[in-house]
């Protein structure tokens, strides 16, 4: 693991243990996926004009060899939070085999937001694995940024995760209700 993670670690300063652990945890969670997901051909969206593979963070493409720390400095807080990922899992999975119920998502997210650094590192992999079982995309660059900042800003990060969860869930439920209302209205309208 050191061979893969060490080149990505920030250099030129003392790295706090919790920050170093965050890099290793993210790498482990990225690696913890089915083998077939690694073998997939890159989409055209993942290639630059020269056909080179690029890593994206937020809306800005970055060269694949861009250090994660530099990517985070360029585009802080522009990614999708873990709370938004939980909301996405709830919204897109009803009735599917890998379904995530609203109560499950809320319980897991609340548990994560009340954790110390050690508790978060212990509970996060299981939650991320569960999200991935629902085919939910996780913004690992944003999650790394949040993990690095957790010791100093856990309250703000927790609040953002919870707000993003409830805002996205509410927005999706409103959209679904509006769609159903429009379908009912069109279905009951007299035909000409």
Which residue has better confidence, 94 or 184?
A: 184
pLDDT interval class at 172 (50, 70, 90): confident
Beta bridge partners of 57: 60
Please give the pLDDT value at position 67: 52
Residues 54-99 pLDDT 10s: 444 433 344 444 555 454 444 444 689 999 999 999 988 655 555 7
Please give the pLDDT value at position 13: 78
CB atoms within 10 A of CB 47: 13
Task: Check pLDDT > 80 for residue 100.
Answer: yes
Predicted TM-score (pTM) above 0.85: no
Please give the pLDDT value at position 27: 92
Domains of the chain: 2-188 (1.10.520.40)
Please give the pLDDT value at position 107: 95
CB atoms within 10 A of CB 33: 12
Task: Check pLDDT > 60 for residue 45.
Answer: no
Please give the pLDDT value at position 54: 47
Residues 25-44 pLDDT 10s: 999 999 887 655 544 454 54
- One-letter-per-residue 3-state SS of the chain: CHHHHHHHCCCCCCCCHHHHHHHHHHHHHHHCCCHHHHHCCCCHHHECCCCCEEEEECCEEEECCCCHHHHHHHCCCCCCCHHHHHHHHHHHCCCCCCCCCHHHHHHHHHHHHCCCHHHHHHHHHHHHHHHHHCCCCCCHHHHHHHHHHHHHHHHHHHHHHHHHHHHHHHHHHHHHHHHHHHHHHHHHCCCC
Residues 113-170 pLDDT 10s: 999 999 999 999 999 999 998 889 999 999 999 999 999 999 999 999 999 999 999 9
Please give the pLDDT value at position 173: 84
Please give the pLDDT value at position 4: 85
Please give the pLDDT value at position 78: 63
């Amino acid at each position: 693991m050191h061979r893969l993670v060490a080149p990505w670690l920030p250099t030129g300063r003392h790295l706090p243990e919790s920050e170093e652990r965050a890099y290793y945890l993210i790498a482990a969670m990225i690696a913890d996926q089915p083998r077939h997901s690694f073998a997939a051909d890159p989409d055209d969206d993942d290639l630059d004009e020269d056909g080179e593979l690029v890593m994206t963070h937020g809306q800005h493409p970055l060269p694949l060899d861009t250090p994660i720390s530099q990517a985070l400095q360029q585009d802080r807080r522009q990614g999708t939070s873990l709370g938004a990922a939980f909301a996405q899992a709830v919204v897109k999975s009803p009735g599917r085999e890998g379904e995530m119920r609203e109560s499950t998502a809320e319980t897991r997210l609340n548990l994560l937001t009340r954790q110390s650094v050690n508790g978060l590192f212990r509970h996060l992999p299981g939650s991320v694995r569960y999200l991935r079982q629902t085919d939910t995309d996780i913004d690992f660059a944003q999650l790394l940024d949040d993990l690095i900042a957790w010791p100093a800003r856990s309250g703000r990060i927790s609040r953002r995760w919870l707000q993003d969860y409830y805002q996205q869930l509410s927005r999706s439920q409103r959209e679904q209700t509006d769609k159903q209302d429009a379908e009912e209205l069109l279905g009951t309208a007299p035909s000409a």
